[in-house]
Amino acid sequence: MSREAPVLVSACLLGINCRYDGGNCFDERIARLVSRFVMIPVCPEQLGGLGPPRAS
């Protein structure tokens, strides 16, 4: 894939605090791919109307 090919990635894996507990689950392996791909961070839960933090 080229740098121009966008890749959807869970926002919490990029360190964005969007998890149910208001935190994230940053993954260094995913972050290293930012230099190779255009990353589009998404949070399916927030797209569905849930906000952080929320009851588990």
- Model pLDDT for residues 2-22, shown as the tens digit of each residue: 557 799 999 999 999 999 999
The backbone torsions φ and ψ at residue 9, rounded to the nearest 5 degrees and listed phi first, read -140, 145
Could you tell me how many residues make up the chain? 56
Residue 56 in this model has a pLDDT that exceeds 70: no
Residue 1 in this model has a pLDDT that exceeds 80: no
- Whether the full predicted model's pTM is greater than 0.85, yes or no, is no
The dihedral of CA 41, 47, 49, 55: what is its sign? negative
